[in-house]
Amino acid sequence: MMTLTIPDEVLSDTNLSPTDLRIELAVYLYDKQRLSLGKARRIAGLSLIDFQKELAKRNVYLHYDLEDLQTDLKNLPSF
């Protein structure tokens, strides 16, 4: 595990709590496609649904393309 140290005065200037800063960082990195949804939500410290709600509040869309759809279709159980 890596620890990131942010000086108190810098954090204070953001007007964000440490939790809010983690969410902002996670959303930014997910939006820039630097992190997967699962890893970003772990950084944010949120459940998958709660992280998706945070993305929606910021108009950040899920990264889901044709390849993802094809993979999901292959993994569907047959009835």
Q: What is the residue extent of each domain of the chain?
A: 17-75
- 12 band by pLDDT with thresholds 50, 70 and 90: very high
Distances in Å between the Cα of 73 and the Cα atoms of 5, 53, 66, 70, 77 are 43, 25, 10, 5, 9
Q: Identify the residue with better confidence: 19 or 64.
A: 19
**Mean pLDDT (whole number) for 62-68:** 87
Q: Identify the residue with better confidence: 52 or 2.
A: 52
**Mean pLDDT (whole number) for 14-34:** 96
- 72 band by pLDDT with thresholds 50, 70 and 90: confident
Quote the pLDDT of residue 67. Answer: 86
CB atoms within 10 A of CB 63: 11
State the Cα–Cα distance between residues 61 and 13, nearest whole angstrom.
28
